[in-house]
Amino acid sequence: KYSIKDLENILKPLGFYRMKARVFWLFNKQIIDRYNCQVPSQLEELLKLPGVGLKVGSIILNELYGSKLIGVDIHVFRILNRVGVVKSRSVSKIWNLIHKTEGVKEGVFLNLNRYVVAFGQTICGRKPICRICGFKEECDFYKKENKNDKNQ
């Protein structure tokens, strides 16, 4: 049987490992006690669990049940604002806008968070590498940062 200390040791390489261990512990306890060891398949139920907001709930439903929900993390938030897909400082507004989008291919939709996170970690992070980005011609951030430099 594992303890919270065991979880802390496992999660230690991550930031805020003590808080994550406590939330993970409480989350699992509620899954066992309230849901008979079954992760809920409805967002409304997931949002009742400790540590679950729109991002985590969306990712859980996407990964476990193939639901067409996208977790809006810092990468999705930053990149969709930069390229002009959305103009908002509210994660919940961005989440709602994304989920109103029609015509996105299912395979792309199911993996969008994964794609955008990888793009954000490699090219479009805090210090974007615009010179190698395939989206720079459409990117509001690139246009603003490079409006006087035509050689980029």
Q: Report how far apart, in Å, the C-alpha atoms of 55 and of each of 12, 61, 70, 73 are.
A: 22, 10, 7, 6
**pLDDT of 104 over the 60 cut:** no
Single-letter amino acid code for the residue at 121: Q
Q: What is the mean pLDDT of residues 4-32?
A: 94
pLDDT value of position 108: 59
**pTM score, whole prediction:** 0.74
pLDDT of residue 152: 47
Report how far residue 20's alpha carbon sits from residue 23's, in angstroms, rounded to the nearest whole number: 5
Give the Cα separation of 95 and 77 in Å (integer): 9
* Ranges of H-type helices in the chain: 4-11, 17-35, 43-46, 54-65, 74-82, 91-100, 106-122, 140-145
